Amino acid sequence: MEQYEQYIALRKEFLSEAKLYLTRSDVIALKIRHQQAINSVRTYESIENIEQLVRVLEKRGVIRYDKIQLLKNIAQNFPHHSMINTKFNKYMAWLENYTPYPPETNLYKCLNDRQNYQWYPSTSESVMYSSYSQTQPEDQQKIMYTVFNGVSEAVGKSWRDVARYLDVREGDIDRIDTQFNSDSKEKAFAALKIFAAKSDLRCWSINLKNALEKARRKDLRNLVDDLLTRK
């Protein structure tokens, strides 16, 4: 998504300069300051540089595309000739005017106009639609939405495993993880959108149930069966 691409570019520039200007002592001090957020002795001890620290804090939700104040604060200690602070200010001004659609809106809009709507950009290329290009009947669209919503509500931390078994790319999984912070429902929903965008809609339910089975979520497989029988 656009805001994510902008953030990745900014983070890359920040890390490039941070590696030049931050000493090992600086990184240790930052680790200590955020030890509670890291919340894992093993992870804490494995962090050796600023890039590793940023990655961990992203996973913990301390840093993400719309929460960059920590990075900006660190960059304020860089030399005055550094342009990174100006770029942070421009990014924050741009972000204030950026209004992404909520996941539910994106999904339902795509279900109603599959051929003209892009669900979620892939890491290296736009998600391509399957060869099945005919729009589904409205009742089938609603069934898919209901199933996706039900699975997203209940999947919890298993969303990553399910996404992998649905052949969602690891890069896309990481993007989703960064964008939606700690909200597993939205993460699962975004992954299901990618799956649906690339799936043959004639067999989406079978593929979804197989993925849930492989992820050892038989409870959700049964949930899908239950929701489908209500149609």
> What is the structure's pLDDT at 72?
92
Q: How far is CA 202 from CA 5, 133, 137, 206, in A?
A: 33, 11, 12, 9
Higher pLDDT, 85 or 52: 52
C-alpha 122, offset from chain centre:
11
SS3 98: coil
The mean pLDDT of 75-96, rounded to a whole number, is: 85
The region of weakest confidence among 36-40, 96-100, 108-112, 192-196 is: 108-112
Closest CA to 224 of 191, 192, 180: 192
What's the token pair of residue 91?
């990014």
> What is the structure's pLDDT at 151?
92
What's the token pair of residue 186?
């939205």
pLDDT band at 137 (very low <50, low <70, confident <90, very high): low
Closest CA to 207 of 186, 222, 221: 221
Give the CB-side neighbour count of residue 15, counting CA atoms within 13 A.
13
Is residue 178 a contact partner of residue 64, using CB atoms and an 8 Å limit? yes
Q: Return d(Cα 36, Cα 41) in angstroms, integer.
A: 10
Is residue 70 a contact partner of residue 62, using CB atoms and an 8 Å limit? yes
pLDDT band at 105 (very low <50, low <70, confident <90, very high): very low
> What is the structure's pLDDT at 4?
67
> What is the structure's pLDDT at 175?
86
Residue 229 CB neighbours (<10 A):
7
> What is the structure's pLDDT at 188?
92
pLDDT digits (tens, 9 = 90+) for 154-185: 888 889 999 999 988 888 888 888 877 777 88
Q: What is the mean pLDDT of the chain?
A: 78
Is residue 51 a contact partner of residue 15, using CB atoms and an 8 Å limit? yes
> What is the structure's pLDDT at 129?
33
* Domain locations in the chain as residue ranges: 2-96, 103-229
Architecture of domain 103-229: Orthogonal Bundle (1.10)
Q: What is the pTM of this model?
A: 0.47
Is residue 63 a contact partner of residue 54, using CB atoms and an 8 Å limit? yes
pLDDT band at 61 (very low <50, low <70, confident <90, very high): confident
The alpha helices in 22-137, defined as continuous H runs, are 24-33, 35-38, 41-46, 50-59, 69-75, 84-96, 103-112
Q: What phi and psi, each to the nearest 5 degrees, are found at residue 182?
A: -105, 10
pLDDT digits (tens, 9 = 90+) for 180-222: 777 788 899 999 988 888 777 778 888 999 999 988 888 899 8
The alpha helices in 60-169, defined as continuous H runs, are 69-75, 84-96, 103-112, 138-155, 159-165
> What is the structure's pLDDT at 112?
42
CA angle at residue 148 from 145 to 154, to 5 degrees? 140
pLDDT band at 139 (very low <50, low <70, confident <90, very high): low
What's the token pair of residue 123?
């890491």
Residue whose pair of structure tokens reads 């990618």 in the numeric block = 194
pLDDT digits (tens, 9 = 90+) for 109-134: 444 443 333 333 333 333 333 333 33
- pLDDT over 90 (residue 18): yes
SS3 64: strand
What's the token pair of residue 105?
């809106």
